[in-house]
Amino acid sequence: MASGNAIRGSRVGAGPMGEAERGESAPRLRIAFWCSNGHETRPSFASDAQVPDTWDCPRCGFPAGQDRDNPPAPPRTEPYKTHLAYVRERRSDADGEAILAEALAKLRGEI
């Protein structure tokens, strides 16, 4: 049973969208970029825009360059360091033993 709605199945503003309504699009260039994993990305740029040297790969996140045979190296990530690792960088073993001896002497009531 049909209701008397004449615009059923359409939405406000629906209609053919074309160049006449939107205006002409700017001329585009599609530039190929390759990452170190061999993924190819082809973003489009306006023909008068400056193309960047690197582009982030949408698949792996590594930087991608325009040279397929020589892509940029992936960024080197430093491993997570614990608090103890940072302390060991600042102090020698002799310093650590002296601090430990001082703390034990305080606990024993010798100081």
Annotated binding residues, written as ranges, equal 35, 39, 57, 60
Residue 88 to residue 64: CA distance in whole angstroms = 37
Binding site for Zn(2+): which residues? 35, 39, 57, 60
Nearest to 42 by CA among 68, 70, 19, 22: 68
Residue 111 to residue 105: CA distance in whole angstroms = 6
Residue 31 to residue 43: CA distance in whole angstroms = 6
